Structure 1
Amino acid sequence: MKKRLTTFLVTGIMLTGCTKAIDTQMNSIHNKVPTVKSAVEKEFADLTVQANQGDTRSQYNLGMMYLFSHGIRQNTVIAKKYFIKACDNGYQLGCKNTNVTD
């Protein structure tokens, strides 16, 4: 009886250790898989960086993405903000869109 109990406990301990080792390996594999961005996500990220650095065309294009929900959720408040930035920095197309309704 003691031998069976010991065998059962040892087997349980071994299986628990194996499960943790497998989980650790699976987590490390998932963490190493690079995320792949779509073309729209990459464009959005690039435009955001350029717009925040003061590029007027990027500010306008980012406003258009927000206005027409091109790959992102529509947000007319943010769109208007970028149109105003573009207009203030001398980009005439941005001035035409500053009357976007909230």
Structure 2
Amino acid sequence: MRLCIISNPNSIHTHRWVEYFVGRGHEVTLIGDLPLRRAAPAGVRYIDLPAEQRGGKLRYAAWTRTVRRIVRELQPDVLHAHYIASTGWLGAGA
């Protein structure tokens, strides 16, 4: 199954979720709004949202367009936005 997860890439919870799904043979793409502080888990494709769009509340409008395009290209079976605020809005807009 193809999974697309939108979440804080540095959260231990995110790492545990993506490692779990990769370990069961799923194809996982992680979309994040922060630079990675450590390497993405093995087998996970990480997409960092553009740094030039960071800062200010309008970033979510710009990121929503970017995430929507990425999701259309990936055509995941499941789209999961891990947090209700921030990444949840991105998932709803995709």
TM-score (norm 1): 0.25
Between 1 and 2, higher relative CO (CA 8 Å, sep ≥ 6) is seen in 2
Greater strand percent: which structure? Answer: 2
> Whose radius of gyration is greater, 1 or 2?
1
